[in-house]
Structure 1
């Protein structure tokens, strides 16, 4: 007991010590908060000595900004020594916390000086110029100045010319001297004023271009070759200056001037060789720049100028000249120069391609291919034979740098994938150029599936977008193939069902689209972290729809084609009893085609329902499929049964029986169709039981099911009456059938305690009575009227008896679910 009491006392002492330390800690914490607030207000600040293992007592003064010099005393305060967690006694060495200095009882009075304009102790930087001020002062003014200078020179030269103040040679010399002086001044100022110097140099070059033009065109002081050489030197100097200054403005001025040279110096000689050669020199200069700089605007201008000039010549003059070798040579030169230009800097600097780079690369490739295709196609001798080879050659042109990039790992993967996509693009174009028919569609579909697989597994967006294009092209191509291949006429060659190239192409496209759909839905290929793009969402919705359309149409077209061929092949010539010649076809085959297309539709969407319920489990597809199945049900009840009845009537009447065999198959088709309908109705019932759809139409479906059964029974009654030759009493028999079925519905409703079935049965009986009094009675004889009235009366009494007998059960019906 004594030991236990000692332990209790010891624990109580420890508890008191902890509580006292807690109070001390709280006070220190509040004091620290107060000191922070006082410091912010410029009041007294507590001095905090920093604890170190070597010096447990520290004197420290926190310096504060001062206006005048003052001395303050500092009291020494011994900081509280902390103990470790496992020590029972206080340790002579303090446990330090570097991030939290201990506050002492010393105070220092601080005064925060106000910021004044006369405060010399502040080390603030002078305020910077605003961005607008900087732009105007350093960029805009000098450009406007050089432009005004150029305009002034032009006005002065124009005035001297109009008034003959100076001789032509003197004018040109003075112009060159002024330009060289401006150029020298620009070069002199380069070290200290780079931007200003660049403006002066570019202005001087521009002046020299136009002075050279004036000396050649206005005065004829030197021949065209000399002027051409001078301006070429100016272009070279422009390229060197642009790289040296690292300023695009110099390159742009030189480039515009260079492209204007052939037109400024043109004497209508039609020397296209000189024009294209000069353009080649310019583009070589820009290619040299592209190894050092990546100036997009410079490439845009040169790209646009070159192709516009070349296309203008092709459209305007090539038809008359038809110099194929000349045109194709420069076409290839321009293409290769721009191709290297777009790849040079990116390849050397290992930079990523932007969207504009991709667009330019593709435009350059398709300009080359499009113009080259036109040149070959318009060649009278051998051009058309080389179209496929030329297209494949374009693919090889892009394949070579693709291999180099891949082997040497010069750039990132995106550039490799981009150039490889160009290879695939031209291989794709080669297919329709070299081949025709369904093979084009097959190869496009296979290529689309391959690209989509590669894009999905490697996460390459450009390949996925390219596969989307191919998917659309393959789908349209397949529709076009169907429009030609299934367009039958009596003279066209017959094709065997299923085993033909048309269906083979459809089947391969189905496999390709199915593979793409599976890739799009497979979880292992999904990047759950990255949000889907709009195009991926749209195509993810459209591709499965396209797959279903192709699957449905592929088989329906085969069915349609088979019966159409049978109908065309049934043509015969005959001689009638009067000896007259005639011809006919078996028109019953058209009815067989119609009913088989309906049966196929029922079967297709029934199988789709089973696949969706068991495997796919897509709610959107389920709703669409459910609606279509209901529509198809009524289509069969309204149209399909009518076609079947027509075939039965033709069997009984043996319509065209003297020319064709009208056998029992005309009757059996009825029960094949009813079996398919039963399968379809079962899938509708199956959908109503799916929890994820939450349709809540169980009662409606039960009424719908009884309606279908009654409809079929009525048709079956007419069928057998027609076969028995007693179709004249079909009104009476239908009324009795409807009355009996209404009794059946009432009985089922009472037995299963389903109010909606009972009410439907009574409604059916009411419709039967309306039919009897307003439709049947006018055509019935006395015996028939007696039979139908007695039968319906007895049925009505029986229904009333059942209601009276099971009154309590009916009143206690549970709510229909």
Structure 2
């Protein structure tokens, strides 16, 4: 009887004893329950949560026995319950013993049958390599003998592995992989270092070994054969390298290995094998390319093998998934993208560094797009995979076309292409519900916008450095901007209409909801503003007069009509006022968007403040240029004065639109007080500026003193009257504040430089105004009191 049979008998006896023990425990527990039932009537059906063994103290020697116990002494029929484990969820001891031994057995089996064999074959290969290298270094055997012995060792190991396959398949698989690696090793050495076999024969042998590896890996269904036989073969050239730099041979050798992995991928999807081959190939190639001392060496070789590696891994990554029609996972997508962009980056570096082909970078980028397009077309026509893979590869096509445009083209054409591409992708994403296109359109929208900004900056840079004339409206820059505006208006309409479609990236949708209208408004405003600048810049360049002084000791110089700069600024302010008014009107009448209304309010306030400060100051400079011309060569007309009233008219239009915006209800807040402040401050500012303008035109002195003080006093009276008539407390308080400012100005600024008559006029006027204000307060005080009581 062997040990296994003894172990089985002992296990059976152990289980029998455990079952008998459980039966005894159940019988004892039943007896205890009956005793408790007799000792405590009514508690027979109460089962304690945790059975506790009762402790019965021994009776004294002279105490008679308990009658209840004596009555219990009568024999009772006891039904032995079926033995059940105390806790069914807990495995019994025998099961635990079996499981622990099974785990130990599996772990021992993994080490003994799997790990040790692989470590052993690796150590054997390393040992043979070290021994071979030692023999080579010391010329112990001739090159031919070394090769023959190497093949003999590989063949012997292969034969031994095949013989053991029937009974020891795992061990045999390890030996086969080691034998294949040795065959690679010897063939490479025979051709590259000893020149004992021609190149054609060496490649033929490698193809045979690769084919055998593929067949063996499929027959054994073991990755280890492919790993050691194919991927392990990558180390061969580096183990035998003598620094000769025969990269063509190396890359051909690597290409053969990769083709073997490609063939395997149609049958098996061994990810670790593909990852190892993919990583090693690109690592070796990129390291070689970056290590080149000359940028122009190996141009054709680098393009050829990088393209071959790219196509091989492209097909390998798709082969199994497409043949089995499986969905691409995250890792598959990462590999696809990395393979494509890594190849493009290497190719871009190779081509751009070659002086004879640098202009072909755009064509190379387009070729990448064509390759992906062909793959996408085949997948779509043959229906080889799910639509997500088709859309992913089509997205690659779009990406490379997007890259090709700035690489090959320049200027506005890049902006036009990116804008059209972003609009088409956004349309397909929202209308056709293709999520990946929306993700692609997101960066393109901002790329197109930044490209347009670059076009505008380039225009100003060119103009600043050169005296050029660009025809307004009829130029490429304006055409580019109009296409951009039209495309973004289309995107805006689609985004507004198709916003209910679900999105994977909610944050992106939220950004676009604000970014698209903001970009559209900004682009529309800047486009026409630049055309206004172009028109006046042309006039400025055309106004150039070359002055040749009579005295030859002075050099000739150019004179320009600098008044045109002031006119350009004034027209830009007028255009800005009109644009803000039109944008507000559009939102009130057509869009009726609350968020846009807030933007309208902010824009309008900014434009109003800018015009009241810088705009009116520019108009004052135009007036001064009319009154005191700087150059005798140019005539400044009265239009310098007339344009002032055009600006004020458009300013009034914007104030009206602000009033309409406040009444529209789009702001969802009562902003009447804010509008009152805006209206009356603007009105005071404008009439003060106009008073100064009129006084300057009439050549009156002290225009900033006497006239303004009286005007502010009258305006204070006007505010008091409006506050009393409309029962607006904030207007009355504002009037008092303004009158206080007027008095401070009078005593600390006006009084020192005014003549006696002027002082008399100012003091009498302000005194009369104060008396009128006091009279109005006394006459209408009941309105003020009633208003306060009503609010309280």
TM tier, smaller: 0.7 to 0.9
The alpha carbon displacement at 1:627 in A equals 2.4
Aligned to 2:303: 328
Alignment partners' CA distance in 1, 2:168 and 2:159? 14
- Partner of residue 755 from structure 1, selected from 712, 729, 752: 729
**Compared with structure 1, are the counterparts of its residues 160 and 474 closer, same or farther at alpha carbon in structure 2 (3 Å cutoff)?**
closer
The alpha carbon displacement at 1:651 in A equals 1.1
Confirm or deny that 1:522 pairs with 2:497.
Answer: yes
Aligned to 1:146: 117
Confirm or deny that 1:244 pairs with 2:222.
Answer: no
- Partner of residue 452 from structure 1, selected from 426, 443, 446: 426
For residues 702-760 of structure 1, give each alpha carbon's deviation from its aligned partner in whole angstroms, at most 9, with x where no partner exists.
12321111111111111111122224354112111111111111111111111111111
Which sections of structure 1, spanning at least 5 residues, go unmatched?
1-37, 42-108
TM-score (norm 1): 0.76
The alpha carbon displacement at 1:385 in A equals 5.5
**Compared with structure 1, are the counterparts of its residues 476 and 451 closer, same or farther at alpha carbon in structure 2 (3 Å cutoff)?**
same
Deviates more, 1:252-261 or 1:578-587: 578-587
Confirm or deny that 1:270 pairs with 2:248.
Answer: no
Aligned to 1:418: 392
Confirm or deny that 1:188 pairs with 2:163.
Answer: no
SS of the aligned residue for 2:643 comes to helix
Deviates more, 1:698-707 or 1:391-400: 391-400
Matches within 5 A, 1:181-260: 183-184=161-162, 187-189=165-167, 198=173, 201-202=176-177, 234-260=209-235
Alignment partners' CA distance in 2, 1:410 and 1:308? 31
Whether the 8 Å contact between 1:609 and 1:622 is mirrored in structure 2 is yes
Whether the 8 Å contact between 2:158 and 2:175 is mirrored in structure 1 is no
**Compared with structure 1, are the counterparts of its residues 531 and 351 closer, same or farther at alpha carbon in structure 2 (3 Å cutoff)?**
closer
Aligned to 1:443: 417
For residues 350-395 of structure 1, give each alpha carbon's deviation from its aligned partner in whole angstroms, at most 9, with x where no partner exists.
12223333333333334444444454445555x3555444444333
Alignment partners' CA distance in 2, 1:222 and 1:129? 58
Matches within 5 A, 1:555-574: 555-574=528-547
Aligned to 2:516: 543
**Compared with structure 1, are the counterparts of its residues 209 and 143 closer, same or farther at alpha carbon in structure 2 (3 Å cutoff)?**
farther
Alignment partners' CA distance in 2, 1:131 and 1:629? 81
Aligned to 2:272: 297
**Compared with structure 1, are the counterparts of its residues 152 and 751 closer, same or farther at alpha carbon in structure 2 (3 Å cutoff)?**
closer
Whether the 8 Å contact between 1:699 and 1:816 is mirrored in structure 2 is no
Confirm or deny that 1:306 pairs with 2:281.
Answer: yes
Alignment partners' CA distance in 2, 1:632 and 1:211? 82
For residues 564-620 of structure 1, give each alpha carbon's deviation from its aligned partner in whole angstroms, at most 9, with x where no partner exists.
332233222347899986642222222222222233333323322233333334444
**Compared with structure 1, are the counterparts of its residues 253 and 716 closer, same or farther at alpha carbon in structure 2 (3 Å cutoff)?**
same
The alpha carbon displacement at 1:666 in A equals 0.4
For residues 231-257 of structure 1, give each alpha carbon's deviation from its aligned partner in whole angstroms, at most 9, with x where no partner exists.
665544433333334333332222332
- Partner of residue 474 from structure 1, selected from 436, 448, 453: 448
Deviates more, 1:319-328 or 1:795-804: 319-328
Matches within 5 A, 1:610-759: 610-656=585-631, 658-759=632-733
Whether the 8 Å contact between 2:422 and 2:445 is mirrored in structure 1 is yes
Aligned to 1:286: 261
For residues 193-215 of structure 1, give each alpha carbon's deviation from its aligned partner in whole angstroms, at most 9, with x where no partner exists.
x6x66556546656776788999
For residues 487-538 of structure 1, give each alpha carbon's deviation from its aligned partner in whole angstroms, at most 9, with x where no partner exists.
2158544111122111110111111122222222214x6325x564333333
Aligned to 1:603: 578
Aligned to 1:103: none
For residues 288-317 of structure 1, give each alpha carbon's deviation from its aligned partner in whole angstroms, at most 9, with x where no partner exists.
011112233322222232233333444445
Aligned to 2:752: 778
Confirm or deny that 1:114 pairs with 2:103.
Answer: no
Specify which structure has the higher proportion of helix: 2
Which sections of structure 2, spanning at least 5 residues, go unmatched?
1-43, 48-78
The alpha carbon displacement at 1:800 in A equals 0.9
The alpha carbon displacement at 1:796 in A equals 0.8
Aligned to 1:23: none
Whether the 8 Å contact between 2:234 and 2:254 is mirrored in structure 1 is yes
Deviates more, 1:202-211 or 1:704-713: 202-211
For residues 543-562 of structure 1, give each alpha carbon's deviation from its aligned partner in whole angstroms, at most 9, with x where no partner exists.
33332332222222222232
The alpha carbon displacement at 1:420 in A equals 2.3
**Compared with structure 1, are the counterparts of its residues 598 and 137 closer, same or farther at alpha carbon in structure 2 (3 Å cutoff)?**
farther
Q: What RMSD over aligned residues (CA atoms) do the two structures have, in Å? A: 4.2
Whether the 8 Å contact between 2:150 and 2:183 is mirrored in structure 1 is no
Whether the 8 Å contact between 1:185 and 1:200 is mirrored in structure 2 is no
**Compared with structure 1, are the counterparts of its residues 484 and 415 closer, same or farther at alpha carbon in structure 2 (3 Å cutoff)?**
same
Alignment partners' CA distance in 2, 1:129 and 1:185? 35
Alignment partners' CA distance in 2, 1:491 and 1:666? 28
Alignment partners' CA distance in 1, 2:82 and 2:646? 102
Alignment partners' CA distance in 1, 2:300 and 2:465? 49
**Compared with structure 1, are the counterparts of its residues 216 and 137 closer, same or farther at alpha carbon in structure 2 (3 Å cutoff)?**
farther
Whether the 8 Å contact between 2:178 and 2:229 is mirrored in structure 1 is no
Aligned to 1:506: 481
Alignment partners' CA distance in 2, 1:320 and 1:705? 70
Alignment partners' CA distance in 2, 1:282 and 1:153? 22
The alpha carbon displacement at 1:443 in A equals 1.7
The alpha carbon displacement at 1:150 in A equals 4.2
SS of the aligned residue for 1:331 comes to helix
Whether the 8 Å contact between 1:573 and 1:582 is mirrored in structure 2 is yes
SS of the aligned residue for 1:293 comes to coil
Whether the 8 Å contact between 2:185 and 2:236 is mirrored in structure 1 is no
Say how many residue pairs are matched.
704
- Partner of residue 312 from structure 2, selected from 321, 337, 340: 337
Whether the 8 Å contact between 2:154 and 2:179 is mirrored in structure 1 is no
The alpha carbon displacement at 1:678 in A equals 1.8
The alpha carbon displacement at 1:279 in A equals 1.6
For residues 262-306 of structure 1, give each alpha carbon's deviation from its aligned partner in whole angstroms, at most 9, with x where no partner exists.
223334443333222222211111110111122333222222322
SS of the aligned residue for 2:633 comes to coil
SS of the aligned residue for 1:689 comes to helix
For residues 81-124 of structure 1, give each alpha carbon's deviation from its aligned partner in whole angstroms, at most 9, with x where no partner exists.
xxxxxxxxxxxxxxxxxxxxxxxxxxxx9967422799xxx9x9
**Compared with structure 1, are the counterparts of its residues 209 and 639 closer, same or farther at alpha carbon in structure 2 (3 Å cutoff)?**
same
Alignment partners' CA distance in 2, 1:161 and 1:339? 38
SS of the aligned residue for 1:573 comes to strand
Alignment partners' CA distance in 1, 2:516 and 2:663? 28
SS of the aligned residue for 2:546 comes to strand
TM-score (norm 2): 0.78
